[in-house]
Amino acid sequence: MTRRVPVAGEQPYEVVIGAGAQTELSLVLAGTPKVVVVHSAPLAAAAGSAVEVLQTAGVAAEAVVVPDGEAAKTAQVAAEVWEEFGRLGLTRSDAVVGIGGGAVTDLAGFLAATWTRGIRVVQVPTSLLGMVDAAVGGKTGINTAAGKNLVGAFHPPAAVLADTDLLAGLPDAEFRSGMAEVVKCGFITDGRILELLDADPTGRADTEELIERAVRVKARAVGEDLLDTGVREFLNYGHTLGHAIERIEDFGWRHGEAVAVGLVFAASLAGEAGLLTPDEVARHRDLVAAMGLPTTYSGDWDRLQQVMRVDKKARGASLRFVVLDGLGSPRILTDPDQAWLDAAWAAVSGDHP
């Protein structure tokens, strides 16, 4: 049984969640002359299966390999794949399929957004993080020396096929990383997510329901605010510090690990601002820790603040954070008092567990 979540907007699409969802490629891309399947080397088997599904449906399909993880999200890799698109004669009638974790789907979306000024992309996320976050919403991007995702485009997919069969071989650390984005959705909107994770902090007992609930949170925000100027910003809860940690660590930390610390930091900041009670702040730390995610980070606070100021969520010289004014009630806190920032940093600074 598959679960389907509609994503509204000028280019509406569906997120299909469940075992075997990848087979719907033949329905979504029926009649497409040519498709390039972008994937990382470890996912050659999944890419081969996608190519076979498409070819059986009469679509000319070829696979293109890119580096694994954040190493894929560079201008050099994008340029190399553009050359491949040219060699294969990809036109505006054709499409791209991205198969991989969040980094590969970010790259595939960016490639599709920029090739001939935009062709269709179908995302087949293979990680929990990709299913609940990166592949949904139409944000695409690559990294630069200046920061994460500073070069990109808004380019909604034609469909997202979250095939839960692909999670079978996902390492526990990667699964936990994806759960950071799920618990984020619980804190900002859906209290049922928090209840499910209180009962089973691993998320394994209710994986498909948790994926669906997290996707619905994102779908509502994206449907109202594709360009990230209003309610969609609330999805960045925990990400301002999280992205800075990733950048300083040269992406040696998993995204969800960095966001987990960012969630504890943001909760502590809201506590300092009088927006969350001590118990609500503690609930962040306790639940994140129970999920097996880090709650502390040891780093250069001055440098972290510099990096946060060039985050894509910043506005001019202002430092902006998504915080909660009570659980389930997100808001933006602009230029918080330095004393609050320092106190929140003290709450998370320490050695990586």
Question: Per residue in 8-27, pLDDT tens?
Answer: 988 899 999 999 999 999 99
Confidence of residue 316 (pLDDT cuts 50, 70, 90): low
Q: Where are the domains of the chain?
A: 3-167, 172-348
Could you confirm whether domain 172-348 is CATH 1.20.1090.10? Answer: yes
Instruction: Assess whether pLDDT exceeds 50 at residue 353.
Output: no
- Reported as a single tens digit per residue, the pLDDT across 100-140 is 999 999 999 999 999 999 999 999 999 999 999 989 999 99
339/337 Cα distance (integer angstroms)? 5
Q: For the domain with range 3-167, which CATH number is right: 1.10.10.60, 3.40.50.1970, 3.40.50.10130, 3.40.50.970?
A: 3.40.50.1970
Stated pTM of the model? 0.92
Measured CA distances, 218 to 79, 98, 130, 155, 235 (Å): 30, 20, 12, 15, 7
> How much is the pLDDT for 308?
94
**47: exposed, middle or buried (C-beta count within 10 Å: 0-12, 13-18, 19+)?**
buried
Q: Which amino acid is at 97?
A: V
Neighbours of 14 (CB within 10 A): 18
Confidence of residue 296 (pLDDT cuts 50, 70, 90): very high
Measured CA distances, 276 to 46, 167, 217, 300 (Å): 44, 35, 22, 26
Confidence of residue 314 (pLDDT cuts 50, 70, 90): low
Instruction: Assess whether pLDDT exceeds 60 at residue 352.
Output: no
Strand 95-100 versus strand 120-125 pairing type: parallel
Instruction: Assess whether pLDDT exceeds 90 at residue 268.
Output: yes
Instruction: Assess whether pLDDT exceeds 90 at residue 315.
Output: no
Q: H or E element: which one contains 244? A: helix 239-248
331/307 Cα distance (integer angstroms)? 22
Average pLDDT for 237-243 = 97
